[in-house]
Amino acid sequence: AFLKDISESHRKNEFYFNKIIDVDFHPDENATFPQGMEWLEKNIEELKLKGTLGDSIFFRNKSIHPSLKIAKLVANYTMQDIDYNAECKISYEFPEYASKKNEAAELVIDFKSFNGKGASNTKINNIKSEIMKTLESVKIIAYERHRNKD
């Protein structure tokens, strides 16, 4: 819920969330899965999904959320301005959790791709910098909202 909240938050008028396209999650070894989802408990250490995932059972069925730990989520965005149109993919990842199961892993937000049509490299760098500043503030707000929900 934390990563989904950050990725889907509306940023500015010209920056639009499209969809979640990639997610890596791990079953929580200490949790019990709800009826019908027990297959996730056994023999699965990591599950990677790609596609249009916002409507998948893993996001729709909130009863399984306490049983899953998301290590990475990638979302697709579009931007429109007078001078340019752009599309980008942004990754929200806990790399230390994915590799070492470190529960105190830091969230790393990074651009996976950025395709700006009609914008100079300087303009693209400025746009990316502004997006990252905004995402940092959204991350802090989302953290405060979700930190006591365990």
Confirm if 150 and 116 have CB atoms less than 8 A apart.
no
Long-range CB pairs of 134-143 (<8 Å, 24+ gap) are 134/11, 134/12, 134/15, 135/6, 135/11, 135/90, 135/109, 136/109, 138/6, 138/9, 138/11, 139/6, 139/107, 139/109, 142/2, 142/5, 142/6, 142/9, 143/2
Spacing of C-alpha 8 from chain mean position: 8
Per residue of the chain (150 residues), what is the pLDDT tens digit? 677 777 776 555 578 888 888 888 877 777 777 777 666 666 566 566 666 666 666 677 777 777 778 889 999 999 887 778 889 999 999 988 777 777 788 889 999 999 988 788 898 898 899 889 988 888 888 888 877 665
State residue 109 phi and psi, 5-degree precision.
Answer: -110, 130
Tell if the pTM clears 0.85, that is, is over it.
no
Q: Where are the domains of the chain?
A: 2-146
pLDDT at 45: 63
